[in-house]
Every structure is written in structure tokens, then in C-alpha cells.
Amino acid sequence: MLSLEGLHITRGQGAAGHEVRLPGLELASGEVQAVVGPSGCGKSTLLEAIGLLLTPRALRRFTLGPERTDLAALLQGGNERALAEIRARDLGFLLQSGGLLPFLSVRDNIALPRRLLGLPPQSERVAHACDVLGLAPLLDKRPGALSIGERQRTAFVRAMAHEPRLLLADEPTAALDPQAGERLFGLIVSLVQELDMAALVVSHDLALVTRFRLPRLVATLTPGGCRFAPAT
């Protein structure tokens, strides 16, 4: 589903700059990989780069989907229109900031990515995810009236609502109690398999990562930054 080689990102400049390197990543259809590493090492930065939100300093190869769309060429050519289309259609983002729109209800926040793509706002999978995550009674509320954990669950359903090819989730269980965290992880793993998509999930919760037997992309600190590699 995703194949990437030679990714090098720089954040900030000079001595204060931070370098993030990922020599290679292969993510198969139906696969969820965990991204783990210490705070500040560059996990969110890595997700932003794979989510086409940053232009990397170097990138040898980056393809997505069975037709192997050449994302490296689109990034290097600065093809903003094509990149925006891929972000909206093929990628699902659950970023740390949440990013729910405060003036829309939970229902309308969740429906937004589907509406933007011209899809019917409701789907059976969305209704099922809302049930599993206990959001069904909250659909008419606005984000300001939700707890942080409820917002996080809403942001997850929104990230999945348009059935993207690749889900990028940054600490999706950070504000959840252990049971809710386990339900969310279970839903990510089952939806990714059911929809033949793939997911990269940043998590500090090693107990959950171990329980779901997720392969790990692990950060090692280097002078001036960090390097990610699959755990062996």
C-alpha cells in the first residue's frame, strides 16, 4: 500500500534544527504499524511528512496504493493541486490537535470529509464506529460540550469516515481510559483489515502496541535529530 525510501526532513534551522530520517518503510494493505520513540524525537514530524503536509529535504521513493501513485514526484514538483486531492481522498488524519470544527455538531464534523468528496454523509461503517466508541448519544452536541476523550474519539471517526487508504493517527488514545483505548485500537485494527487500508499510529502506550502485536517503527536519537527503523 505504501512504499518509501530515503526520507530526510529538517525542522528549524542551524544548531536549533532537528533532522528526521527514515531510510525505508513498507506498509502492506491491512497492516497497522506503531510509531514509537521519546517525546520530541520527531514522530509527529514523520506523520506530517508522510501525510504530504511537509516538503522533505530529500526523498528517493514514495508510492501509495496498488497503482503506485508517485508521491515523491508530486512533492518534488510542488504539484499542490494533485497533493491536495490525494490528502482529501486517500489520507485520513487524526492529529494531536484534534482539529474538530467548534461550530459543527459531532454528526456534521464526522460527515465533513465525506461531504467534501461528494459522498453521502452517512455510512454503515461510520454508524458502527460511533456505536462501538459510545458516540451515538453525542451526535447532536458540539465539540465544546464534549470531554477531551469524546473529542478524540470523534476525531478518529472523522479521520476514517471517507474510508481513506492510509490512516495517520497521532496518539489516538492519549486522552482515553484503558478500556476506551483498547476499544479504539481494536477498531483501528479491524477497520484497516476490513477496508484493505493501512495505518501508522503514533503511541506511547506500549502495553496496547504489544497486546495488538503491532509491528513497530522505532526512533533512535542521533546527533541533531532521530532516525526511524523497523524493530527487528
Ligand X SMILES: Nc1ncnc2c1ncn2[C@@H]1O[C@H](COP(=O)(O)OP(=O)(O)OP(=O)(O)O)[C@@H](O)[C@H]1O
Q: Summarize as ranges the residues that interact with ligand X (CB under 6 A).
A: 11-12, 18, 37, 39-45
Q: To the nearest whole angstrom, how small is the minimum distance from the Cβ of residue 55 to ligand X?
A: 13
Q: Determine contact, residues 158/93, Cβ cutoff 8 Å.
A: no
The whole-angstrom separation of Cα 141 and Cα 195 is 29
Q: To the nearest whole angstrom, how small is the minimum distance from the Cβ of residue 15 to ligand X?
A: 12
Edge-to-edge strand order for the sheet containing 91-94? 69-70, 61-64, 2-11, 18-27, 225-230, 216-222, 32-36, 198-202, 166-170, 91-94
Beta bridge partners of 36: 218
Q: What is the residue whose three cell numbers read 476499544? A: 183
The whole-angstrom separation of Cα 216 and Cα 38 is 14
Q: To the nearest whole angstrom, how small is the minimum distance from the Cβ of residue 156 to ligand X?
A: 17
Q: To the nearest whole angstrom, how small is the minimum distance from the Cβ of residue 225 to ligand X?
A: 8
Report the residue number, 54 or 104, with the smaller CB distance to ligand X.
Answer: 54
Compute the radius of gyration of the chain from its Cα atoms: 17
Q: To the nearest whole angstrom, how small is the minimum distance from the Cβ of residue 42 to ligand X?
A: 4
Report the residue number, 41 or 155, with the smaller CB distance to ligand X.
Answer: 41
Report the residue number, 109 or 203, with the smaller CB distance to ligand X.
Answer: 203
Report the residue number, 18 or 128, with the smaller CB distance to ligand X.
Answer: 18
Here the cell at position 157 is 471517526
